[in-house]
Chains A and B, each alone.
Chain A
Amino acid sequence: MSNNIPAELKYTKDHEWVLLEGDIVSVGITDFAQSSLGDIVFVELPEIGTELSAEDTFGVVESIKSVSDLYSPVSGEVVEANTDLEAGPEACNENPYGSWMIKLKVSSSDEYNALMSSEEYQEHCSNL
């Protein structure tokens, strides 16, 4: 199974990657996740303005044979949703780290700092 884990990102146990830039985090699914799911054919994302708490479900990603919830890694307000993925969900397979799904405006970086580092995520995946 492919498992490309960029060092500059943070990760969740649910296989989302997280990038913090200023007070905005971008969230997508990892290479491990896309590889486990197989052909991704549908992505459902939240409305802009949705308020999320950490671990809230914010959307759904579907492969041909399965449905998986997407979980917010941190608390914040959805300020952008990548609607390109609704038209071209296969980008999640082709370029998982280039295919952010939502951007959240966060008020504190505490939850972000508590997420897994690339080394911790590597360890997490190797135990699955």
Chain B
Amino acid sequence: MGLLTTSLHQVHLDLGAKMAPFAGYDMPLQYSSVKDESNAVRTNCGVFDVSHMGEFFVTGKDAIKFVDYLITNDFLSADLHKAVYSPLCREDGTTIDDLIAYKLGQERVLICVNASNIEKDWNWISSQTNSFDIELVNKSSEYSLLAVQGPKVVEIFKSIELLSDEDNMEYYSAKELNKLGEQVILARTGYTGEDGFEVFCSHDMAKNLWSKLLDKGALPCGLAARDVLRLEVCYPLYGHELNDQLTPLDAALKWTVKTQKDNFIGKAALIESKPKKRLVKLSLEKGIPREGYNILNSKDEIIGVVTSGTMSVATGKGIALGLVDSDKFPKDKAFKINIRKNNIEAIYHVKAFVTGGHK
């Protein structure tokens, strides 16, 4: 089967983007350079086509209750127009995906899921609707999604009338608004650590917005820069720090598991569960850690594996997230990473490598 394309595919090709298959789509990996694109997001504004992501809408009387039951984080008590990041777990606590649920109305919720998991998530979520008065629809193919990220985003959005002071868009809020003659969903979310918005809109509007944003100085950015940015701020990525075998507790996401909630799928298992793994943040003075490289203790014993690694554009150092076996976590917090023939000492970080600029 051929690769799917987004509404902006031809635009990417015209811009000379380096394209690569991603989650069944032919997606832009980079346009100019990963360095320039990452820097643009940290200091100015970058725009990503992330239309490959999945959009499910839950509507009806029980919409909020249903989503709260579905996910481990607390959706019920979130304010109207708030977005909530959460793992989606099975009864045994293992993770199907991580997602963002947007409380658009008392009876209307948007769930945005990872592109590679759309079918798996849809099958799971639609199998859980029985006792709820809701309607669930998969509108993944109907929506384009632009992630516009960086400190200049508000200024740029106001200049193209995509945002006004009256919209009151706080960090992690989401609203359906009529903008530029169309109904769009504007969410002050993203996955770069910077201030920014995600714009769920029609395919035609995405093309229109893309060119307006570029005219105002936003730099087109590809998935490679997006991965560097999310890793610098230590956001997990499904398929790397999270997967079908791990619980959110294994991936240091205890904060997203609200066991005080009445009920949710996986609650009993997650109350009982002890983390098998510990997520570690490591950097190197020299060399670049890559996914799959072994993590060792000071005695050169293998204790874990790098789950994501890259060169940080912001710090100029090799950075990694990795999962270490809980029972092998070294008390002295001395770590090494094996790169080819060498075991290289790594620096253990408690905080993220980069402090994002989100509001």
Interface membership of B265, Cβ < 8 A: no
Q: For A63, list chain B residues within 8 Å (CB).
A: 34
**Set B33, B288, B313: member contacting A42, Cβ < 8 A:** B288
Binary CB contact string for chain A from 33 to 67 against chain B (1 if under 8 A, 0 otherwise): 00000110110100000000000000010111101
Known contacts: A38-B18, A60-B340. The answer to whether A65 contacts B224 by CB under 8 A is yes
Q: Are A62 and B311 in contact (CB under 8 A)?
A: yes
Q: Does B103 contact A (CB under 8 A)?
A: no
Q: Which residues of A contact B29 (CB under 8 A)?
A: 65
A61 to B59, CA, bound (A): 51
Q: Known A64-B310, A65-B227; judge A39-B34 contact (CB<8 A).
A: yes
Return chain A residues, CB-CB under 8 Å to B310: 64-65
Are B311 and A41 in touch, CB under 8 angstroms?
yes
CB A36 to nearest CB in B, in angstroms, measures: 8
A60 contacts across to B, CB distance below 8 A: 340
| A65-86 to B contact mask, C-beta < 8 Å, 1/0 | 1010000000000000000000
Q: Quick one: given A60-B340, A64-B224, A65-B224, are A38 and B30 in contact (CB under 8 Å)?
A: yes
Taken residue by residue from 276 to 290, chain B's Cβ proximity to chain A (1 for < 8 Å, 0 otherwise) reads as 000000000001101
Bound form: Cα–Cα A44–B344 in Å:
14
Q: How far is the CA of A42 from the CA of B310 in the complex (A)?
A: 11
Q: Are A64 and B287 in contact (CB under 8 A)?
A: no
Residues of B within 8 A of A38 (CB): 18, 30, 33-34, 224
Interface of A is mostly: strand
A39 to B222, CA, bound (A): 14
Could you say which residues of chain A place their CB within 8 Å of the CB of B203?
none
Residues of A within 8 A of B287 (CB): 42
Find residues 18-45 in chain A having any chain B CB closer than 8 Å to their own CB: 38-39, 41-42, 44
User: CB-CB < 8 A to B227: which residues of A?
Assistant: 65
Closest to A63 in B: B34
Which B20-40 residues have C-beta < 8 A from chain A?
29-30, 33-35
State in angstroms the CA–CA spacing of A60 and B318 once bound together.
15
- Chain B interface residues toward A at CB < 8 A: 18, 29-30, 33-35, 224, 227-228, 287-288, 290, 310-311, 313, 318, 340
What is the interface of chain A, defined by CB distance below 8 A to chain B? 38-39, 41-42, 44, 60, 62-65, 67
- 14 inter-chain pairs at a CB distance below 8 angstroms, sorted by A residue, are A38-B30, A38-B34, A39-B33, A39-B34, A42-B288, A44-B340, A62-B288, A63-B34, A64-B34, A64-B35, A64-B313, A65-B224, A65-B228, A67-B290
